[in-house]
Structure 1
Amino acid sequence: MKTLLLLRHAKSSWADPGRADHDRELNRRGEKAAPFMGRYLREQALIPDLVWCSTAARAVQTLGLLGRDFASNADVIYSEDLYMAGERVLLESLHHTHEDANSVMFIGHNPGMEQFAQALFGGGDEVARDAMARKFPTCALAHFEFDVENWTDIAFGTGRLIVFTKVKELQAVKIGSE
């Protein structure tokens, strides 16, 4: 059994229009959202064994704000190939994951993350899939499981979607419980 977590980076800033897209950092909303997602992942015991992270500033910053569990417990592969990658590049990267890792997280960008998640869907939570198809917002997480031994055995249409989590919903629950 393999677990794949697809996380879109948190909300980025457009304050400096002269800054290259790759170098854009998170805005305040993004800086608040990533720790919420990190807490959720810890509460759900979803600390990955390995993280594939885009080299874009906003993706690297998102990873850092998830919490120290993600930097110390997980190996991290920073890959420029993940910057604005499509579903085929993401699948190819996944196939290069070492087999010791049973749980992997990708931190990347749309439209690739959304397309990859849709392409992997082979069953599971249909309501979550429909929500994901409508919008894969910043700092949203798609949690998949695969009944395989090796990452190279994963193909499009073989994933079971467990849950699709939007950080905005996590924040609403926290505010509602205070």
Structure 2
Amino acid sequence: MSVAEPRRIALFRHAKADWPQVSDHERPLAERGRMDAAVAGRRLTDSGLGFDLALCSTATRARETWKLAVHELDHRPKTVYEERVYEASPGQLIALLNEVPDDVGTLILIGHNPGVHGLAEILAGSADEDARDRMNRRGFPAAAFAVLSFEGSWKGLEPGVATLTDYWAPSE
């Protein structure tokens, strides 16, 4: 892929987790989370995004979210389970995304708040107004995702260079 072609990234927050007596990293999805993850996967398919790469947190709830969502996609991308996504700040996520090879055109990152929401806000220098309004109104609840596009290399991804093109969150 040429660096002149637009790149797209979906920032996907894990679905609703349960609170059993386990460490935070090992928390599984709640029943509602399992349902919302599959619905989010269908919505990602409907958006027409075909992912080249998935970067997924190693936390149980993120891995379970991705497993249920990817089952709904037309194409299963290469998936990398990345421990640096867990509890990452927006700056740490940008540093991770700067390492993505330039042959990746479309990527999905499955992670956690507040990092994922903060990253969407920081990257979006411009936005489809409807998508921005929905994200501002809803925040970034469990199983929500934002889609952004930008031009250039992953190494050049930095605050303000992307356009928020889509946003979706499950109904409450």
The TM-score with structure 2 as length reference comes to 0.90
> Which residue, out of 6, 15, 18, partners 1:13?
18
1:142 is the counterpart of 2:146: yes
Structure with bigger helix share is 1
Q: Give the ranges of 4+ consecutive aligned residues of structure 1 lying more than 6 Å apart after TM superposition.
A: none
Do the aligned residues in 2 keep the contact of 1:63 with 1:70 (CA within 8 Å)? Answer: no
Identity of matched residues, %: 36
Structure 1 residue aligned with 2:46: 43
How many residue pairs match? The answer is 166
Question: Which whole-Å CA distance do the structure 2 matches of 1:23 and 1:98 have between them?
Answer: 30
Shift of 1:128: 2.6
Do the aligned residues in 2 keep the contact of 1:119 with 1:157 (CA within 8 Å)? Answer: yes
Question: Which whole-Å CA distance do the structure 1 matches of 2:168 and 2:115 have between them?
Answer: 17
Do the aligned residues in 1 keep the contact of 2:87 with 2:115 (CA within 8 Å)? Answer: yes
Shift of 1:98: 1.2
1:94 is the counterpart of 2:130: no
Gaps of 5+ in 2: 1-5
The TM-score with structure 1 as length reference comes to 0.87
> Which residue, out of 109, 124, 127, partners 1:124?
127
Shift of 1:13: 0.3
Do the aligned residues in 1 keep the contact of 2:149 with 2:165 (CA within 8 Å)? Answer: yes
Question: Which whole-Å CA distance do the structure 1 matches of 2:23 and 2:74 have between them?
Answer: 26
Shift of 1:54: 0.3
Gaps of 5+ in 1: 170-178
Shift of 1:42: 1.3
Structure 2 residue aligned with 1:156: 159
